[in-house]
Every structure is written in C-alpha cells, then in structure tokens.
Homo-oligomer: A and B are copies of this chain.
Amino acid sequence: MARLLYDLAGANPDFRFSPYCWRARLALAHKGLEAETVPWRFTEKDKLAFSGQGRVPVLVDGDRVVSDSWQIAQYLETAYPDAPSLFGGQEAQAVARFVNSWADSVQLPGLTRLVLVDIPATLHEGDRSYFHSSREQRLGMPLAAACADRDTRVEDFRAGLIPLRLVLKAQPFLCGDAPAYADYIVFGGFQWARCVSDFPILAEDDVVAQWLERMLEAAGPQARRMPSLRA
C-alpha cells in the first residue's frame, strides 16, 4: 500500500503551504521515506473522515492512520527506528516539544498577523469563504484588520525571535550541526509565510534569515520554488 500524506493545497494543487504539513514532509524526507502527497482543501472534510478529525496533515502508512504533525513525527521515530533519528533520543524528543510549543504559540500567531490577509488569493475558490469566516471568527476581526498594522507589527515579531536568534548565533541549526525535527518545526512556519506572502518577514542580515536559507537548501528545490506556484 502506498504511503500517503494529506497535504493542504491552494488553487494550484501543487501549491502546498501549511506549516504543519511542511513539518511532516520534512520529517518523512529526513527518515528517507517516500510518500505520495494528496492535495486537500479546507472544505474537503469528508475526505478526512477516515482519520476521525478534519485537519491535515494526515499520514496513511499501510494500515496506520496518524494525524497531527507532532504525532506523525513521534510515530515515524518509533516505527522507523533504523532510519536517521528525528530527535536524537527520548530526552531530546521531550525538549523538542518546547520548540514545538513555542512555534505553535509564539511564531505562528505572530506570522498570522503578518501574512493572513494574503492567503485567500492563493486558495481554491471553494475554500475562500470558509477560510474568511473561520479565521475571522477565530481572530474576532476581519483579515484585513488583523494585518492592517503589519508594517510596524513586524518589528515586534522580529524582536520576539530572539530565543531563536541566540541559538543560531551559536550553532548552524537548532539541532546542532545538521537539521532535524526541531528545525523542521520552525521552518514550517517561515515556509508557510514565504509561500503565501511576499511580505518581508525577516531582515536580510538576521541570522534567522541565514538559517532559513540553509534550511531551504536542505529541503530541496521543491520547497524553494513553492511561492512561484501561488495562484
């Protein structure tokens, strides 16, 4: 049975931009596991009914169905112990959860206020109305209002990256000399932002921008060309 990864897609089915799906894609690649990615749109909840929930990524690996990027990483690490490790041991996996939590609670909400308004233009027309209403409900304001002050807000966002910056001044990757899952977690967010928007998230001379370049190099040409597939 083929290995399948249900992956959020835009109007162009090859345009893949979900931060959580990028974590899963790079986790699979790190393990050297081939997977067919299945383009999925926000409103295709029925296509995910088999997974018991309505969000991507969903990994189908033989008869195993795993959803949620963190669960997928844990599953891959356990199911493929002989492939290169995503974490580097139990304790490393526990500490990587802090990076995951920081990305989910600081990085992604921060990026949302910088790029959200640019997303609808990239979506399949069937998804646009759902996206508008679900995000406006979540944020309690129109998308345009959420990003209205992004030219000034970006300064606070950049300042909030200091924990990341301090690490990347001392070592090339979050995981040390080579990237691994903690890097993929944080990469997912920045990849999402650069896929959906041309808004300049990082200053060019930021060590975080230099790390992102290294990550794009490691992730391969498909990751780098993604913004060109925007609708």
Contact = CB atoms under 8 A, between A and B. Distances in A.
Interface residues of A, number: 34
B174 A98 contact: yes
A95 B186 CA distance: 12
A98 B161 CA distance: 11
Contacts of A96: 95
A90 interface: yes
Contact of A99 (B85, B93, B98, B171): B98
Contacts of A98: 95, 98-99, 102, 163-164, 167, 174, 182
A121 interface: no
Nearest to A186: B98
A84 to B, nearest CB: 11
Which of A94, A99, A174, A182: most chain B Cβ within 10 A? A94
Contacts of A102: 98, 102, 163
Interface in A164-200: 164-167, 170-171, 173-177, 180, 182
Given A88-B89, A182-B95, A101 B175 contact: no
A89 to B, nearest CB: 5
Contact of A91 (B87, B94, B106): B87
Contact of A171 (B88, B94, B104, B173): B94
A23 to B, nearest CB: 15
A162 interface: yes
A29 interface: no
Contacts of A94: 171, 173-177
A92 interface: yes
Contacts of A165: 101
A45 interface: no
Contact of A163 (B88, B91, B101, B166): B101
B176 A90 contact: yes
A87 B96 CA distance: 12
B91 A167 contact: no
Interface of A: 85, 87-99, 101-102, 104-106, 162-167, 170-171, 173-177, 180, 182
- 5 tightest A-B CB contacts, nearest first: A88-B91, A94-B176, A92-B92, A101-B166, A102-B163
